[in-house]
Chains A and B, each alone.
Chain A
Amino acid sequence: MTTALHHNKDVVARGGVLLTELDSICTSFLYAVLVTDDGFEVASVSGSDHERLASMVSSLQALAEGVAEELKIGTSEYVVLATEDGHVIQLRIPRQQLVLSAVFNKSETLGKVLSASKSTAEQIAVMVETSK
Chain B
Amino acid sequence: MAEHVVLFTGPMGAGKTAAIASLSDIDPVRTEAANTDRVTADKATTTVALDYGEITIGPDEKVRLYGIPGQTRFEFMWKVLMRRAVGMILLVNNDNPDPIGQMLYFIDYFHELYERGGAVVAISRSDVGLGPTREEYYSALAAARPGLSIPIFSVDARSPEQMKIALFSLILNIESRAAVPSRYEEPRQ
Q: Is the CB of B30 within 8 A of A66?
A: yes
Q: Which residue of B lies closest to A70 (CB)?
A: B29
Contacts A38-B34, A39-B33 given; does A58 touch B48 at CB 8 Å: yes
Most buried by A among B33, B35, B38, B50: B33
* Chain A contacts for B35, CB-based, 8 A: 38
Most buried by B among A4, A58, A59, A63: A59
* Chain A contacts for B73, CB-based, 8 A: 39, 51-52, 54-55
Q: Is the CB of B34 within 8 A of A97?
A: yes
Contact with B along A49-91 (1 / 0, CB 8 A): 0011011101111110010001000000000000000000000
* Chain A contacts for B38, CB-based, 8 A: 1
Give complex CA distance A37, B30 in Å.
Answer: 14
Give complex CA distance A54, B48 in Å.
Answer: 11
Q: Which residue of A lies closest to B37 (CB)?
A: A38
Number of interface residues of B (CB under 8 A): 20
Give complex CA distance A55, B34 in Å.
Answer: 13
A59 interface neighbour in B30, B34, B49, Cβ under 8 Å? B49
Contacts A62-B49, A66-B30, A66-B31 given; does A56 touch B76 at CB 8 Å: yes
B77 at interface by CB-CB < 8 Å: yes
Number of interface residues of A (CB under 8 A): 23
B29 interface neighbour in A4, A40, A66, Cβ under 8 Å? A66
Query: 8 Å CB contacts to A: which residues of B47-79?
Result: 48-50, 69, 71, 73-74, 76-77
* Chain A contacts for B93, CB-based, 8 A: none
The minimal Cβ–Cβ distance linking B47 to chain A, given in whole angstroms, is 8
A36 at interface by CB-CB < 8 Å: yes
Query: 8 Å CB contacts to B: which residues of A22-53?
Result: 36-40, 51-52
Q: Is the CB of B49 within 8 A of A6?
A: no
Give complex CA distance A29, B131 in Å.
Answer: 51
Contacts A55-B74, A63-B49 given; does A40 touch B36 at CB 8 Å: yes
* Chain B contacts for A55, CB-based, 8 A: 48, 71, 73-74, 76
A37 interface neighbour in B29, B48, B69, B77, Cβ under 8 Å? B48
Contacts A39-B48, A55-B73 given; does A62 touch B31 at CB 8 Å: yes
A110 at interface by CB-CB < 8 Å: no
The minimal Cβ–Cβ distance linking B84 to chain A, given in whole angstroms, is 15
Q: Is the CB of A38 within 8 A of B48?
A: yes
Contact with B along A95-120 (1 / 0, CB 8 A): 00100000000000000000000000
A127 at interface by CB-CB < 8 Å: no
A6 interface neighbour in B30, B34, B36, Cβ under 8 Å? B36
19 A-B pairs (CB sep. < 8 Å): A1-B38, A4-B36, A4-B37, A5-B36, A37-B34, A37-B48, A38-B46, A38-B48, A39-B73, A55-B71, A56-B76, A58-B33, A59-B69, A59-B76, A61-B48, A63-B50, A66-B49, A97-B33, A97-B34
